[in-house]
Amino acid sequence: MHYFNIFSHLHPPPNFYTLLYITIPVCLHIQIFFLTFVRFLKQRKKRNDKFVNMAELEEEYSASNIQVLEGLEAVRKRPAMYIGDISTKGLHHLVYEVVDNSIDEALAGFAHNISVTINPDNSITVVDDGRGIPVDMHEKEHKSALEVVLTVLHAGGKFDKGSYKVSGGLHGVGVSCVNALSTYLRAEVHRNGKAYVQEYSCGKPTTELIVAGESDNTGTMITFKPDSSIFTVTEYDYSTLANRLRDLAFLNAGITLHLTDTRRPADAPEDWTPRSETFYSQEGLKEFVRYIDSNKDSLINDVIDLRTERQGIPVEVALTYNSTYNENVFSFVNNINTIEGGTHLTGFRRGLTSTLKKYAEDNNLLKNAKVEISSDDFREGLTAVVSVKVMEPQFEGQTKTKLGNNEVIGAVQTAVSEALRTYLEEHPKQAKVIVDKVILAAQARHAAYNARKQVLRKSPLSSGGLPGKLSDCSSRTAEDCELFIVEGDSAGGTAKQGRNRTFQAILPLRGKILNVEKAMEHKILDNEEISNLFRALRVTIGTEEDPKEVNLAKLAYHKIIIMTDADVDGAHIATLLMTFFFRRMRPVIENGYLYLATPPLFKCKNRRAKIEEYCWTDQQKAQFVMKYGEEGTTVSRYKGLGEMSAQELKDTTMDPEHRILKQVTIEDAAEADRVFSMLMGEDVGPRRDFIEENANYANIDA
């Protein structure tokens, strides 16, 4: 650009406006140059300061920055690394770790009775009649063996092959973890004709080991109270502990386990007695399978069981077939529930499939099958429990959910093949019933093939697209996104207005979905509402390991929230949806993605105080009335989500800042399977009995 030279004598002096016209561009360019130069100097200084700070950090980072956590400090600093979490699951895991020590004594043949007591202050007492933890001086640690076991990680008899052949627990850190995470622990050992006592707090001994008196018995008593500054939940659930002890009784035939709850309810009558149960199984896994299938129609009216040892590995298996279309196999290693399976489950499936297929072919039982039989067909309607005892188990991950010992595959496969072959030859009638079930499963699988392909094809990238009723969110980060599954179009419309469009999606359902507990696979996949769920979630069927397994690789939401009316119909719809997720999308629950919304039941207003509150329970409503008085107070009962305004629904049920979500988890898969079969299955009798037993607890809004 050409600028006039205001100092040139070749031109006449410019007038005022000409001077202004010439000067402004020059000043602007000078100003831009100046600001750029200043920015350059600031950036240079910032860069120099950064280099100085990095140099200082390098100088500061030395041996003094390396922390060494003494004793059990690491457990208290990072408790979730050792017990899974610091909520309900971790709290109950403390009990399991102490009980596992007693079970180890029982497996070694030295204990027969184990009792667990929930004390009034929510502390726990576990007693067994084993040999008692040794109390003599430990040569290396220069303290009693009892103190070593309770204060040193990876210390215990389970690391000495001469003490225990097999053991459970979290890699030897169990009882010491319990001590570290308890504000109070008291260990009482009966051994050598004496009773020894020592107390601890937060993993450290507060008293010396003393002789409290003489004793004619042997065994160990551990009493502990979890640290409320670590755990977010400190109240024990009786049912959770009962389910675990019941499983242990089935897995360890001949051992008696007692559970007692001494916490007295506030409204308990004068003749109240503590709740108590005793768990004992004579037949072990055989009774376990009967218990799991108690609400299902059996096909063979028998349980095939085996107890043997192969390659030095004790193997126990019990299995049966029922009229349902689901496979339920529960696997355990050293009493630990391996929910992800592993080599023992692989060996079981191989042995089952190969033996049944060979028997059917040898006896010409597949002549009526018009379709090809696959390995999956042999497992439809199967219920089985597989339990192995491995001396040195190798687990994938700290949580012990998948066994990795390759030698177990052959041991379990051989054991299952031999026992099943013998049973089939001795029971030809039951064998034919099983094979007929396999053929029916194969035919149903082929009928479901096209339906499954529809689910696969109707992915978000294909022409099938997303369901028309889905109001999707704008975010594509699954970890941030939420899907509300809403009952009906009316509530769906309200939810769409009250949502945050960035991360909240809405999928209205039309009425009640299909009860998958009673339906075959091709009927399930043909159902429009279920097909919409698959498509909305971007879930497909088939993985590299299992063609029937759901594939969550492209799951679009990490919070799937069931939001239904707070009435009987709403509860039924929520139950149908949870049945669907448990039977057909269990990984969604196992990964912690499924939730239940909890809309309020009441809206309470008081004109005099000019205040209004939402109440979720009758108790909260009563407290509001008591606080502000009946005069001027009005209470509105929400019959459904559609009665709430969009703002009300947002404020109470959808806004992450104020809402209450209940996460759906599986604490005991076998017990969950039994309950779903009872509530949603064909057999009316067990469901009627359940309703009659629990009618007093029902909250009916008449």
CA dist., res. 441 & res. 326, Å (int): 10
- Give the closest residue to 481 by CA, choosing from 593, 579, 640: 593
* Of 327, 480, 567, 651, catalytic: 567
Cβ-contact 105, 169 below 8 angstroms = no
Tokens of 97: 């770790």
Gap between the Cα atoms of 574 and 679, Å rounded: 13
C-alpha span between 277 and 260 (Å, rounded): 7
Among left, alpha and beta (phi > 0; psi -120 to 50; other), residue 136 is beta
- Which entry of 565, 648, 671, 673 is annotated as an active-site residue? 565
Q: What are the strands, taking DSSP E only, across 439-500?
A: 482-487
- Residue 402's region, left for phi above 0, alpha for psi from -120 to 50, else beta, is beta
Measure the CA–CA gap between 428 and 17, rounded to whole angstroms: 114
Which CA distances in Å does 306 have to 142, 374, 419, 421?
Answer: 47, 25, 6, 12
Closest C-alpha to 125, from 186, 215, 191, 176: 186
Torsion of CA 349, 351, 354, 355, to 10 degrees: -130
DSSP state of 191: E
Burial 56-92 (b: 16+ CB within 10 A, else e): eeeeeeeeeeeeeeeebebbbeebeebbeebebebbb
Give the length of the chain.
702
Q: What is the distance between the alpha carbons of residues 46 and 49, in angstroms, rounded to a whole number?
A: 5
183's enclosing H/E stretch is strand 182-191
Catalytic residue among 227, 487, 521, 529: 487
DSSP 633-650: EEEEE--SGGGS-HHHHI
Residue 565 a catalytic site member: yes
Instruction: Look at residue 513 and give its three-state secondary structure.
Output: coil
Residue 687 tokens read as 């469901």
Q: Note whether 349 and 420 are within 8 A (CB).
A: no
Q: In angstroms, what CA-CA distances link 258 with 220, 475, 513, 667, 692?
A: 15, 52, 41, 20, 26
140-142-146 Cα angle (round to 5): 95
Could you say which of 199, 237, 418, 569 is catalytic? 569
Residue 683 is encoded by which pair of tokens? 């057999």
Q: Could you tell me if 359 and 430 are in contact, meaning their C-beta atoms sit under 8 angstroms apart?
A: no
Has 569 been annotated as catalytic? yes
Active site positions, annotated: 487, 565, 567, 569
